[in-house]
Amino acid sequence: MLDIPLATHFLKGNSAHASFVFFGAGWTICPSIGFPGNFLRDLIDRTGFPWCWLTEICPPGENSIHYPNAHLVNEGQLPVLDAPEESDFFFIAEEDPETVLATIKTFAAERVPKKFGFDPMRDVHVLTPMHKVVCCSENF
């Protein structure tokens, strides 16, 4: 999810002799946040940058639905939406923006931290693709 301007500043801020190893999905589900660009995909497609394709997720976890769903989406299939409560994938169908906002706040502040042992202020981040709407980052 690294965009081109951020990647440019990152690379310019380091020594010309520095070495980097980038990890990520070349065909990522999410575009970069903020600005256009798909740094890793562009790096692979437009340069002679050496790369390898990682095909195994270690360890996906006994109740993981997130990773299998990511693979389904990348293959053009619909994800499994009715995951069991104890899984790592949550899907909630809701159209009312105020209810969506309240649900996201509950997930970020309570449900996700409790499930994964996260500190909600340090370890949980909510990314929103829109500004100036009910479910934008200004309301979190």
Q: What is the pLDDT of residues 72-130, one digit of tens each?
A: 887 889 998 988 777 788 888 889 999 999 998 998 999 889 888 999 988 888 877 67
What would the pLDDT profile of 23-66 be if each residue is shown by its tens digit? Answer: 765 555 456 666 677 777 777 788 877 887 776 666 666 678 88
Distances, alpha carbon 82 to alpha carbons 88, 89, 102, 134, in Å: 12, 9, 21, 26
CA distance linking residue 68 with residue 74, whole number of Å: 10
| Sequence spans of domains, the chain | 4-46, 92-139
Q: What's the whole-model pTM score?
A: 0.54
